[in-house]
């Protein structure tokens, strides 16, 4: 792998670290499997790109992207909580609607950001070569957000959010308004994912209406890789493991795609990811079955 | 004080499975009274407690805490006044969180959960002090996962958690039923201590006639969604388990026998 593609892999790994952290919030913390992220990733990219092209400051555009993503999360939470629509289905509805909304935001299926300013522009005068600058910028942003989030999960509010997912009845008996925590959690998660989309669009120079497909599976893959490497109760370790999981996942994919003798190409990515996540979900299950069988046999002997 | 006025709860109203779980409960419990609640399965004991806690909305009737009408208050809003311990030891705590995190959650009950760290050294000290009352050695395991504890240990911690914040009302729904006799006795011991310390108004559902008479100051028996008997004062002190069983027989004129061993022998 060339240095250039290695740096590119790191950059995307960090960006999807945000997605992983967002997915961790919904799937693990809130126990709310949320597929909205496929749409909110694209929405973040679309909003950022469209606003920048319209002449808006890239930082303002990025904040708008985050707000857009958070709003999408709120819609999913509302469909689920207000109308009792199953969380998976509610999130699929939002995701589907977002596909159209994103096209409307962009006005066409693809927007290029070649000459426009981006969040990186203020740093370009530092003289760091662009390929390094992008990685450093993304790494700093993602790590800072990761630290903030780890701290948040240890605050009273964060603890309440974790209890909401882990044991809603207990949470309620301790005065926690669980609906409010679910709204907040979904907004936060999708806001992070939209931020990832906005960063992706600006570092890679484009937004595309289909770029969000499979975001959820990639995020899950990173969470699962991270969980299998670190087994800790510390929020800091867990959040960091999501980001590390994302980096490792990207590196693994990149190696697989670069190994010419296997003959994979970029469009095979979704299948590879699905198979990887599938394996990660299947293996612990098989191991449990295997252990149970062994225990049963041992009991008879 | 808790005042129930003609509280009614109907599940699945208008459907074939309609169930009138509370059929007009009238009950006034003065501040500081410890009421034990007995009654056969399905009598509506849990429903009564859940309605007082706000988990279940009453279909009609009113509920007051002191002079405040709380009928339309949400469960979360009522937790300023109400603490509870569930029958299932797993229900009252989060197995995935540590002991100290669980206690911090309970410590935040009735407060606005803000963006301050939920744990600090002062709190840990308080939690250690409280846990040492249990004599289970848990004070040295603050950062152990709750899920690693036995049912009895978890229930004991739940009980401590219910008393971390001032509240006026404590609701206990068969909170010793899932425990072995020795642990159950320990948990009841701590229950009595906490109730006396905090001068709480208590409703304790129990399957054990012995427990119902040995603890508290008043005993009510629920039957088919209503309070069938209300024992207090001298009358109660002269009651034995046998007499309670006779009461059971009276409210079941069909002569249906009580075949629940726990009811008869209860720990
Ligand atoms: N959520 C519910 N939906 C429908 N029926 C219920 C529900 N909860 C309780 N019931 C019914 O209401 C009656 C009273 O239940 P409960 O209060 O749990 O009795 P117990 O005195 O044994 O605690 C029972 O017949 C029970 O089946
Ligand atoms: Mg019950």
> What are the residue boundaries of the structural domains of chain B, listed by start?
2-94+151-255
Local structure of B173: helix, strand or coil: strand
Q: What is the pLDDT of residue A8?
A: 93
DSSP of A209-248, one letter per residue?
TTTTTTHHHHHHHHHHHHHHH-----HHHHHHHHHHHHHH
pLDDT band at A285 (very low <50, low <70, confident <90, very high): confident
Q: How many beta-carbon pairs under 8 angstroms link A with B?
A: 92
pLDDT band at A299 (very low <50, low <70, confident <90, very high): low
Ligand showing the shortest atom-to-Cα distance for residue B40: 1
Q: What is the pLDDT of residue B261?
A: 45
Spatial neighbors of A244 by CB under 8 A, at least 6 apart, are: A17, A226, A229, A230
Q: Is the CB of B47 under 6 A from ligand 1?
A: yes
* ipTM at complex level: 0.86
Tokens 């960090």 -> residue = A14
Please answer whether residues B244 and B212 qualify as being in contact, where contact means their C-beta atoms are separated by less than 8 angstroms: yes
B143 CB neighbours in chain A (<8 A) are 233
A155 CB neighbours in chain B (<8 A) are 113-118
Q: pLDDT tens digits for B175-204?
A: 999 888 888 998 999 999 999 998 999 999
Spatial neighbors of B45 by CB under 8 A, at least 6 apart, are: B37, B38, B39, B173, B205, B222
In this prediction, residues A36-65 reach a mean pLDDT of 97
Angle between helices A87-106 and A37-53 (to 10 degrees): 20
- Chain A residue with CA closest to B116: the answer is A155
Residues of chain B above pLDDT 70, percent: 94
- CA distances (Å), A137 to each of A41, A130, A148, A247, B99, in order? 19, 10, 17, 15, 39
Q: pLDDT tens digits for B120-157?
A: 999 999 999 999 988 889 999 999 999 999 988 999 99
Mutate to test the interface with A, among B83, B110, B111, B118 (most CBs of A within 10 A): B118
Q: Is the CB of B21 under 6 A from ligand 1?
A: yes
Q: Which of these, B89, B74, B210, lies nearest to A172 by C-alpha position?
A: B74
Residue nearest atom 27 of ligand 1, based on CA coordinates: B42
Q: Does B114 contact A157 at a Cβ distance shorter than 8 Å? A: yes
B91 CB neighbours in chain A (<8 A) are 167, 169-170
Q: Is B53 on the interface with A (CB under 8 A)?
A: yes
Tokens 């009461």 -> residue = B247
Q: Is the CB of B42 under 6 A from ligand 1?
A: yes
Q: Is B98 on the interface with A (CB under 8 A)?
A: yes
What's the mean per-residue pLDDT of chain A? 92
Q: pLDDT tens digits for A178-194?
A: 999 999 999 999 999 99
pLDDT at A240 over 70: yes
Stronger pLDDT, A71 or B77, i.e. the higher one? A71
Q: pLDDT tens digits for B214-238?
A: 999 999 999 999 999 999 989 998 8
B104 CB neighbours in chain A (<8 A) are 156, 159
Min distance B97 CA to chain A CA atoms (Å): 8
**Among A41-55, B84-98, B243-257, the range of highest mean pLDDT:** A41-55
Min distance A92 CA to chain B CA atoms (Å): 29
pLDDT at A196 over 50: yes
Q: pLDDT tens digits for A204-236?
A: 999 999 999 989 989 998 998 888 888 788 899
Min distance A30 CA to chain B CA atoms (Å): 13
Q: pLDDT tens digits for A98-142?
A: 999 999 999 999 999 989 999 999 998 888 998 899 999 999 999
Beta strand pairing call for B201-205 and B34-38: parallel
Beta strand pairing call for B68-69 and B169-173: unpaired
> What are the residue boundaries of the structural domains of chain A, listed by start?
3-213
Dihedral, A156, A157, A160, A166 alpha carbons, nearest 10:
-110
Of A151, A166, A175, the CB nearest to B97: A166
Q: How far apart are CA B140 and CA B148, in angstroms?
A: 14
Local structure of A134: helix, strand or coil: helix
The token pair at B48 is 């009564």
Q: How far apart are CA A37 and CA A104, in angstroms?
A: 18
Q: Which superfamily does CATH assign the domain made up of B2-94+151-255 to?
A: P-loop containing nucleotide triphosphate hydrolases (3.40.50.300)
């Amino acid at each position: 792998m060339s240095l250039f593609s290695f740096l590119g892999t790191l950059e995307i790994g960090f960006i999807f670290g945000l997605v992983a952290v967002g997915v961790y919030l919904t799937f693990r913390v809130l126990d709310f499997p949320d597929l909205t992220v496929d749409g909110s990733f694209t929405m973040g990219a679309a909003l950022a790109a469209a606003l920048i092209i319209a002449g808006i400051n890239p930082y303002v555009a990025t904040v708008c992207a985050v707000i857009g993503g958070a709003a999408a999360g709120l819609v999913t939470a509302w469909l689920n909580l207000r109308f009792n629509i199953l969380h998976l289905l509610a999130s699929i509805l939002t995701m589907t609607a977002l596909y159209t909304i994103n096209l409307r935001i962009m006005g066409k299926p693809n927007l290029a950001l070649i000459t426009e300013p981006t969040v990186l522009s203020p740093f370009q005068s530092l003289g760091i070569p662009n390929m390094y600058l992008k990685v450093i910028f993304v790494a700093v942003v993602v790590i800072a957000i990761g630290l903030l989030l780890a701290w948040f999960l240890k605050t009273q509010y964060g603890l309440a959010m974790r209890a909401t997912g882990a044991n809603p009845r207990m949470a309620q008996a301790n005065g926690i308004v669980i609906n409010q925590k679910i709204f907040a959690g979904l907004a936060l998660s999708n806001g992070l994912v939209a931020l990832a989309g906005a960063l992706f669009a600006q570092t890679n120079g484009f937004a595309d209406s289909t770029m969000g497909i499979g975001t959820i599976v990639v995020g899950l893959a990173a969470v699962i890789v991270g969980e299998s490497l670190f087994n800790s109760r510390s929020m800091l370790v867990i959040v960091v493991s999501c980001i590390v999981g994302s980096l490792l996942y990207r590196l693994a994919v990149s190696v697989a795609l670069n190994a010419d003798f296997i003959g994979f190409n970029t469009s095979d990515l979704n299948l590879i990811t699905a198979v990887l996540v599938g394996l990660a979900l299947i293996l612990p299950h098989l191991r449990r079955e295997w252990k149970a069988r062994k225990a049963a046999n041992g009991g008879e002997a | 004080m808790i005042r129930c006025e003609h509280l009614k709860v109907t599940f699945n109203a208008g459907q074939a499975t309609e169930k009138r779980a509370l059929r007009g409960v009238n009950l006034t419990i003065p501040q500081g009274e410890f009421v034990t609640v007995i009654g056969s399965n399905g009598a509506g004991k849990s429903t009564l407690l859940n309605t007082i806690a706000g988990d279940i909305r009453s279909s009609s009737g009113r509920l007051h805490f002191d002079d405040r009408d709380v009928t339309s208050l949400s469960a979360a809003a009522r937790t300023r006044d109400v603490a509870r311990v569930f029958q299932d030891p797993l229900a009252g705590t989060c197995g995935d969180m540590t002991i100290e995190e669980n206690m911090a959650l309970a410590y935040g009950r009735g407060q606005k959960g803000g963006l301050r760290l939920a744990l600090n050294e002062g709190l840990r000290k308080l939690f250690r002090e409280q846990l040492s009352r249990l004599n289970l050695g848990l004070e040295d395991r603050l950062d152990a996962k709750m899920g690693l504890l036995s049912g009895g240990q978890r229930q004991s911690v739940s009980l401590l958690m219910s008393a971390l914040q001032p509240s006026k009302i404590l609701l206990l729904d068969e909170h010793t039923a899932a425990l072995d006799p020795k642990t159950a006795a320990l948990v009841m011991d701590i229950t009595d201590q906490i109730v006396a310390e905090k001068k709480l108004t208590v409703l304790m559902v129990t399957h054990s006639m012995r427990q119902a008479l040995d603890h508290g100051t008043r005993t009510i028996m629920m039957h088919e969604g209503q309070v069938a008997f209300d024992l207090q004062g001298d009358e109660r002190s002269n009651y034995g388990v046998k007499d309670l069983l006779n009461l059971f027989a009276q409210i079941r004129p069909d002569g249906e026998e009580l075949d629940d061993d726990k009811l008869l022998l209860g720990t």
